[in-house]
Structure 1
Amino acid sequence: MIDLHCHLDLYPDPTALVAECVERRVYVLSVTTVPSAFTGTAALAASDSRIRTALGLHPEIAASRSRELPLFERLLPLTRYVGEVGLDGSRDHKATFDAQRSIFADILRMCARAGGKVLSIHSRGATGAVLDALSAEPTAGCSVLHWYVGTGKQVARASEMDCWFSVGPSMLASERGRSAVAAMPRDRVLPETDGPFCSFEGQPARPWDAWSIVPMLASIWGEDDQSVASRMRTNLKALSDIAQALPPAGARRPT
């Protein structure tokens, strides 16, 4: 099972959740919302090779926590994964949108200087603006668009830019989300939950709940469940290979 976007540190009992992920053999990308949370979150899963911790600065709070950008830069060499980062143009966060743009651009430049990262990217209310930012910094790494509900043209543009997509059951509950997924390249889609912020069957979604998208994707794509499950595993291997080709954690690109 696979969950490519989950906030492990924000569950009520992260240690117990990680233990169950290990028992169930779930592959998890554990994203963070601020750089100061990275070290503690990484320590939760230090012994399990299936859990990777991403260094993040969430756009909803990026403006108020911009003082952590120097810490972000210091921690960046410790991981091949960055997230959750991006832009949020929704009504509640439009007032900080210019600041978000500047911070996201800084983060992308840092990633480019570091030799590239795998990035899990937020784009609510900013589906076009995120692609513009990525286009301006093409060597930032491999972008995985989390919960991306862009138009058909935007999905096509993102695909042409070699973006990947992480998709969860909550996204597939809407017609807009299903339409976006139908347009995505099937070899660049992976499961996610966005737990604990999203629910599944009446409780905060847990990493293993991401696998529930397999029959949903099978219906959208006109494939059987087994084929979709196999595709998800193949896609994870391909993304992992991309990550492994990046400069290793602890290394810096020569300047």
Structure 2
Amino acid sequence: MIDLHAHLDLYPDPATTTQECVRRNLFVLSVTTTPSAWSGTAALAKSATRIRTAIGLHPQLAQERQSELGLFQDLLPRSKYVGEIGLDGGPELKSTWDTQCRVFEEILRMCKAVGGRIMTIHSRRAATPVLDALAAGDGAGAAVLHWFSGTRRELQRAVDGGYWFSVGPAMLAGERGRTLTANMPKDRILTESDGPFAQTEGRSLYPWDVVEAERALAQIWNVTEDEARDQLMQNLRALTSIIPQ
């Protein structure tokens, strides 16, 4: 199983959650919300060969953590994964929009300067500005649009741009999420949990709950669950081969 977007450090018991991911032999991309969280989060998985830790600066924290951009740049050579980054167009964050854009553009510039990174990207209510920034920052690496919720036109633009997508049980629980997913290229989709933030049936999702996303994808693609899992593994190998170690 593959969880391409989980906040391991933010579970109630991060160490136990990480150990369970290892026991189940999951591939997990452990994302961070600030550069200062990276070292401690990476330490959780220091002996886990299938867990990678991404360097992030979440758009919802861009205003208060913009001073950590220097640390972000210092850490960047230590991981080929970046996230969670992006833009958030929620009305409650309107006052931080200019800072969000500047921080996101600077991160894309940094990624390009080091030869590109695999990036997991937040685009809530901001799909078009995110796609604009990615187009302007061409060369920053492989962009994975996490829990994409844009319009059909924005989705087509993302598909045409060659971007990837990660989908999880919470997204696939709704008709709109399933419809968007059905229109994504089958060979550019990966699964995610977005735990502990994402929930289904009133409980936080854990990385191993991506099995629910595998089942939903099997239905959408009209294949068996084993075939869906094989496709996802092929996709992961293709994604991780884009940026050299």
Regarding TM over 0.5, the answer is yes
Question: Hey, what's the Cα distance between the residues in 2 that align with 1:123 and 1:73?
Answer: 22
The letter for the 1-side match of 2:103 is I
Question: Hey, what's the Cα distance between the residues in 2 that align with 1:224 and 1:17?
Answer: 29
Q: Is the 8 A contact 1:86 1:104 kept in 2?
A: yes
Q: 2:81 maps to which residue?
A: 81
Question: Hey, what's the Cα distance between the residues in 2 that align with 1:106 and 1:202?
Answer: 37
Aligned pair in 2 of structure 1 residues 113, 164: CA closer, same or farther (>3 Å)? same
Question: Hey, what's the Cα distance between the residues in 1 that align with 2:148 and 2:5?
Answer: 12
Question: Hey, what's the Cα distance between the residues in 2 that align with 1:98 and 1:174?
Answer: 32
Q: 1:141 maps to which residue?
A: 141
Q: Is the 8 A contact 2:190 2:236 kept in 1?
A: yes
Cα deviation for residue 201 of structure 1 reads: 4.6
Question: Hey, what's the Cα distance between the residues in 1 that align with 2:44 and 2:226?
Answer: 32
Cα deviation for residue 238 of structure 1 reads: 1.1
Q: 1:232 maps to which residue?
A: 232
Question: Hey, what's the Cα distance between the residues in 2 that align with 1:166 and 1:155?
Answer: 13
**1:103 and 2:99 equivalent?**
no
Comparing 167-176 with 118-127, which one deviates more in the overlay? Answer: 167-176
Question: Hey, what's the Cα distance between the residues in 1 that align with 2:223 and 2:79?
Answer: 36
Computed over aligned residues only, the root mean square deviation of the Cα atoms, in angstroms, reads 1.1
Q: 2:53 maps to which residue?
A: 53
Cα deviation for residue 222 of structure 1 reads: 2.2
Question: Hey, what's the Cα distance between the residues in 2 that align with 1:102 and 1:241?
Answer: 29
Q: Is the 8 A contact 2:54 2:79 kept in 1?
A: yes
Question: Hey, what's the Cα distance between the residues in 2 that align with 1:11 and 1:59?
Answer: 20
- State the secondary structure of the residue aligned to 2:195: coil
Question: Hey, what's the Cα distance between the residues in 2 that align with 1:90 and 1:157?
Answer: 21
- State the secondary structure of the residue aligned to 1:4: strand
Q: 2:94 maps to which residue?
A: 94
Cα deviation for residue 211 of structure 1 reads: 2.0
Q: Is the 8 A contact 2:28 2:52 kept in 1?
A: yes
Comparing 170-179 with 48-57, which one deviates more in the overlay? Answer: 170-179
Q: Deviations over 1:209-230 (max 9, x none)?
A: 0121112112222222222111
Unaligned 5+ runs, structure 1: 249-255
Question: Hey, what's the Cα distance between the residues in 2 that align with 1:61 and 1:101?
Answer: 12
- State the secondary structure of the residue aligned to 2:169: coil
Structure 1-normalised TM-score?
0.93
The percentage of aligned residue pairs carrying the same residue is 53
Cα deviation for residue 168 of structure 1 reads: 0.4
- State the secondary structure of the residue aligned to 1:33: coil
Give 4+ residue runs of structure 1 displaced > 3 Å after superposition.
none
- State the secondary structure of the residue aligned to 1:148: coil
Q: Deviations over 1:137-159 (max 9, x none)?
A: 11000000000012222112111
Question: Hey, what's the Cα distance between the residues in 1 that align with 2:149 and 2:202?
Answer: 23
Structure 2-normalised TM-score?
0.97
Q: Is the 8 A contact 2:125 2:150 kept in 1?
A: no
The letter for the 2-side match of 1:51 is I
Unaligned 5+ runs, structure 2: none
Q: Deviations over 1:191-246 (max 9, x none)?
A: 00100001245421110101211121122222222221111111111112223x2x
The letter for the 2-side match of 1:86 is G
